[in-house]
Structure 1
Amino acid sequence: MSIYDVHGFVISVEGPADRVFAREYGYFKASDVPRKVDLFVKVNERHDFLPTTVWGYNKGMLIPFDENENTLWYDEGVELIKEYLIHFCEFLMWWPDKTWLHAGAVERNGKAYVFTGEGGVGKTSSVLNLVRAGYNYLSDDFLLINNAGVAFPFPRRVHIFDYNLEDEEIAKRALGLRRLYYIPICKVINVGVKLSPSKYVKYAFEKLRERTMLRIELSKLFPGCKIASPTPISKIFFLRREKIENIRVEEFSHDIKEFIRKIIFVNMYEWGDCLREYYRYVYLFGVNNWRIENKIQHDMNIFYDAFKKAEIYIMAIPENFNLLKVDLSLLLNLE
């Protein structure tokens, strides 16, 4: 059994899932016995059937969605299916003054720079670009922020997508000699996605493309890089892809509530599978959880307070443009 303290939310993990948590949450592993555990993760020993399953697998989980429950039961083996178990654990994490933002972030000179937007828009590429330039790492996928506008480090293994492998240095460090066959395979899959004769074939290729995503230790990609401490947010960039020729960065001049609405629903989209499963539990088992059902309002309140003092920008990026090939620090006027 191991204990992980994620900025005040404490998880106790038992069984083979602990190997996965140790790999992804090693930064948060605690040596002291906590006074209170918020979530227990245990191997299933008492239930004949666990209702949350992954399509194509016979392994399952019982998610403690009800506010009076705090133990996630899992069948041995489910922890190996992508990031399924950890994803639900992160959805269950809750703080009164903090929340998740679907974003990557870096830090330098006591200022945090945040990159948010929908999946695949360039958040990870922005972070990799700046960490290589000497910035300190905060996150590349989900970032924890509080209502005082502070970004908290969330160092897990970095997501490396097929388009990140276009960078020779990253490809070499992530894959070594394997890149000689791995990258051509990725290209063939992408061609399959574009030229598929039917939606079913395209779906199959898209699922294959998902499996090409790598998770690599940050220290392997950039030896000597540092993890930042909790840092006030200085600038936020909302990334989006457009049919333009050059990157365009404009300060957001509208009501901040409009900006928050954008990122709230980007967040909700990323949690979509967890929310659907919660509503299924409500229907099947009558569970009740006010934290989940009030998540939008809770997050909106924190974002509103957090972003009051930050500079907000819209960053329009040409389609298919690789953000690893530009001096992002100079372009965005970062310190």
Structure 2
Amino acid sequence: MKQVLNYNIHNLEIRLERNKGFDIIKNYDVELSMFRVNTTINPDIIYKIGEFTPSNEGCYVVDNKYHVKENYFYCKDSFNGMEWELEIFGFNQGKVVANYNYKMSGLIRYLSRFNFDTLFLRPLIFFKLKEQGKIMVHGGGVSKNGKAYIFPGRGGAYKTSLIMNILKEDNYSYIGDDWIVLDNSKTLAFPAHFSFFNYTFKEKRDEFINIFDKVKYLLCLAKYKENDKIKISNPCNLSLIIFMNKTSRNHEISIKKLDFNNAIDKLVQNIKMEFMYTSIPIIGFLLTHFHEYILAYSYIFPDSEIANYWENLKIDLKNNLDNNIDIYEIEVPKNYNSEILEKILEIIGE
């Protein structure tokens, strides 16, 4: 029996089709649940999970593995006990139809089948938002009084802990703690995995969780899907960027201003590094290999849009961001402490 789910992410319409199957935990679509809608009119992405017959005739074959032709990609691949088959029409530009089938061993597939179902949906969202002029940036963000403050950084740099603590201050709204969307000089909320963030916000003082937290979250999933305390941000003008860098020792927090061009380079590198992975609460990170698929396509079509994506992204960021915006870089100690929040609020002007 087919299950159809519809999403609208800032006017990017997505239709997901999959076979209903056994899940230990029902409705575990925690990544995009905040974007669920009843229907889509003209989906930009149609993402089908299940067996399919590939249309890979007439392709170039790269590394005996990747099948490429104009605006098309197909391969069979594997990682860490998981095997999949992926076909994408509209790989380079335009509307996407993706066919995806996978198999994996172990009971974990029943625990969070939905998250493995959507393994390749995030990079497709990433590229298709870009076609609409919107850029996904890896980082956290909050807003207040129409002004947005974003905090790019690598994993473990306390972005989520910081966002949690700022939201507990007066009148701040949530943009995201993993990804945010830039639309010209405005920020758009991207509350991915919101129920998991909601759990940490309500139950923890920082982002670090243990096995007991994971069990409690799963047992009370419905409770944490309900949002009764966190205000989701409206579109706001980007007013401040603060890069978060974690160090290996405990020391006094240091802050310095960043040059605009240097900051653009750091934003692009941060996005590029994160693009290789998909994060799944409870489980962790999965390597998607999507960056390899881009390289295979780019080898055959070096002048394609996707082959020049990172160069164009840098240009778009320069064009969209105000070069007079305040940009800082903060080095935070090995262990999170309240001084980090105090310094950030001081920069914001609280």
Structure 1-normalised TM-score? 0.72
Counting only pairs closer than 5 Å after superposition, residues 1-335 of structure 1 correspond to structure 2 as: 1-16=4-19, 22-34=29-41, 36-47=42-53, 51-64=76-89, 65-67=91-93, 70-75=96-101, 79-81=114-116, 84-93=119-128, 94-134=130-170, 135-147=172-184, 149-158=185-194, 169-170=203-204, 178-179=212-213, 223-242=228-247, 243=249, 245-252=251-258, 254=259, 256-272=260-276, 273-281=289-297, 286=300, 290-304=304-318, 305-322=320-337, 326-327=341-342, 330-335=345-350
How far apart are residue 248 of structure 1 and its match?
2.0
* Residue type at the aligned position of 1:40: I
Q: Could you say if the C-alpha distance between residues 41 and 240 of structure 1 is closer, same or farther in structure 2, counting changes exceeding 3 Å?
A: same
**For 1:237, what is the secondary structure of its paired residue?**
strand
**For 1:100, what is the secondary structure of its paired residue?**
strand
Q: Could you say if the C-alpha distance between residues 129 and 11 of structure 1 is closer, same or farther in structure 2, counting changes exceeding 3 Å?
A: same
1:283-313 CA distance string (max 9 Å, x none): 6xx5778332222232212322324242111
Alpha-carbon distance in structure 2 between the residues aligned to 1:158 and 1:142: 11
Query: Which is richer in helix?
Result: 1
Aligned residues: 296
Give the equivalent residue in structure 1 for 2:71.
Answer: none
Q: Tell me if structure 2 keeps the 8 A contact 1:115–1:123.
A: yes
Alpha-carbon distance in structure 2 between the residues aligned to 1:80 and 1:62: 18
Q: Tell me if structure 2 keeps the 8 A contact 1:144–1:154.
A: yes
Deviates more, 1:58-67 or 1:310-319: 58-67
Structure 2-normalised TM-score? 0.69
Q: Tell me if structure 2 keeps the 8 A contact 1:174–1:221.
A: no
How far apart are residue 220 of structure 1 and its match?
6.5
Identity %: 21
How far apart are residue 58 of structure 1 and its match?
3.0
Q: Tell me if structure 2 keeps the 8 A contact 1:129–1:324.
A: no
How far apart are residue 68 of structure 1 and its match?
6.5
Give the equivalent residue in structure 1 for 2:64.
Answer: none
Gaps of 5+ in 2: 55-73, 104-112, 277-288
Deviates more, 1:233-242 or 1:70-79: 70-79
**For 2:141, what is the secondary structure of its paired residue?**
strand
Gaps of 5+ in 1: 184-215
1:171-203 CA distance string (max 9 Å, x none): 799989934x989xxxxxxxxxxxxxxxxxxxx
Query: Which is richer in strand?
Result: 2
Q: Tell me if structure 2 keeps the 8 A contact 1:91–1:274.
A: no
Q: Tell me if structure 2 keeps the 8 A contact 1:14–1:41.
A: yes
RMSD of Structure 2 on Structure 1 (CA): 4.1
1:54-96 CA distance string (max 9 Å, x none): 3312343324424477211122667443962333333442334
